[in-house]
Structure 1
């Protein structure tokens, strides 16, 4: 099930703590939402949320 940008935005905002989101959490969020990790990365960039502990450059 794919999500629209507003749903992704809300999910990323809810998952982020103190303006940060771990790579592991972002990858899980992408899987849960049925979107590519890159979509989570783009939304995190738009929201000025820092991804940390990155694995494999999935969010570039």
Structure 2
């Protein structure tokens, strides 16, 4: 059964914002029940050679919902987010998170880069950042 979509995500964008027809087609073909997982959105970016923000904008303008954030921050049921604060003794990891943070926020893209650099799961990095009191923002897809 489909979740009710109480939000009008299109309102995040200016009236008259145009959709890229290739991105729209890919989102329509890959979504289920008006939802598109984060990982699938990034597959579309690679396949079409477009920016993540463009895919996110298309999802919004279709009034679809992004789900299953790869950092565990949104789109999971029933709690919405699934990350848990995660302590670590890895001072290099903590330093990388602190250095990449801007005004107490770690950009999603930097969290991904840190995960890659340290060969960690993305949710591990978001959990450590959460334990450090650092929020992940902004999202590459524009979800937050």
Give the TM-score range, shorter chain. 0.7 to 0.9
Using structure 2 for the length normalisation, give the TM-score.
0.33
Mark the runs of 5 or more structure 2 residues left unpaired by the alignment: 1-88
Higher-RCO chain (CA-CA 8 Å, sequence separation at least 6): 1
Shift of 1:55: 5.6
Aligned CA-pair RMSD: 1.8
Tell me the number of residue pairs that the alignment of Structure 1 and Structure 2 aligns.
53
Matches within 5 A, 1:1-20: 5-20=90-105
Larger gyration radius, structure 1 or structure 2: 2
- Return 5+ residue gaps in structure 1 as ranges: none
More helix by share: 1
Is 2:46 aligned against 1:46?
no
Q: Where has structure 1 moved over 6 Å in runs of 4 or more?
A: none
| 1:53 Cα deviation from its structure 2 partner | 2.9
